Amino acid sequence: MGNKRLIKFFIFATCVVSVFLGMASTVSAQGTATLKGLTLSPLRTELNLSPGTSINGYLKITNSTDKPMTVDLNAEEFKVINPQYDYEFIAESGVARWVSFEPSEVIIKAGASKKVKYTVGAPLTAELGGYYISMFASAAVGSPGDAGNSQQRLASLLYITVSSDVLGAVTRAGHILSLSSPWLMVDKGAWGITIQNGGTTHFRSDYSVKIEDLFGGKVSDNQNSALILPNTIRAISGELPSPSIPGIYKVIYTVGLGDTPSVVETHYMLFLPIWAITIITAVIVACGYRLYRKMYKKR
């Protein structure tokens, strides 16, 4: 009879462990795609213009194939369509016509590179604020009859701020809509922040996520930045590394918000790895079984 009761206690313990395991945070893996044959740099450029002024820049285009390549250049305006920052490109746009290329088509020899000059000009009627243009380099890779023939289209993004000392300053008014932080971690955890920019131009949000123990000792410190476009909401997420020992920890978030003062939030998190849960469960089961045996003997 004693063995049967012991088995029942271990079944109960297994259920408790399963409940804790169900609370484990999930970690998503992100992949990257690599295009072969055509490369373009720089990938992004930030510019400041006044109405009625222009500025020149250069794109470096490289043909890494073994055949000559004809590359076409064109510009399209882009905007953000969701908090994950997927872009929508607008070919027929007055803003896209701010960019001109000299020339708009180049032939690049196999294994060679060329620099193409471009000019960005803001008209006198341009309103103050942020404007966003994608400069595309397009080329056919492979022979026309080959099954592997494809059209490659690479983008270099322009983040333009139109401002003027005479007409007034642009605004970068950011604020946090939500911040999620795990209260329990059994392995690595995930955090998330959504930031809204209600200003007239973009800003770069410098943020840090720091884990400390209750005595102020630093466990980890991760710093990064994200570009927040005007009149958009951006979702930013990351991973919390596992501390070395179980316990209660502070997770300190510091988020830059453009012209708005930075926000600092502190959240508390309990770290209980699987081995710690197993030991705690075993101790609870042993104590419960011992108490049960004492009560059984009294009968």
Residue ranges covered by each domain of the chain? 2-29+171-282, 38-162
Structure token pair of residue 296: 């059984």
Average pLDDT (258-278) is: 92
The class that CATH gives domain 2-29+171-282 is mainly beta
Tell me the pLDDT band of 26, cut-offs 50, 70 and 90: very low
Which comes out higher in pLDDT, residue 298 or 261? 261
Which comes out higher in pLDDT, residue 282 or 144? 282
Average pLDDT (197-219) is: 95
Would the pLDDT of 25 be above 70? no
Would the pLDDT of 235 be above 50? yes
Topology classification of domain 38-162: Immunoglobulin-like (2.60.40)
Tell me the pLDDT band of 36, cut-offs 50, 70 and 90: low
Residue indicated by tokens 């329990």: 184
pTM value surpassing 0.85:
no
Would the pLDDT of 229 be above 50? yes
Q: Where are the beta strands (DSSP E) in 91-244?
A: 99-102, 105-108, 113-121, 129-141, 150-162, 174-180, 184-185, 189-197, 203-213, 218-228, 232-240
pLDDT tens-place string over residues 124-166: 999 999 999 999 999 987 655 554 567 889 999 999 999 887 6
Tell me the pLDDT band of 271, cut-offs 50, 70 and 90: very high
Structure token pair of residue 53: 């002024």
Would the pLDDT of 10 be above 50? no
d(CA 127, CA 170): 10
pLDDT tens-place string over residues 73-129: 999 999 999 999 999 999 889 999 999 999 999 999 999 999 999 999 999 999 999
d(CA 287, CA 116): 76
Tell me the pLDDT band of 47, cut-offs 50, 70 and 90: very high
Structure token pair of residue 122: 């803001």
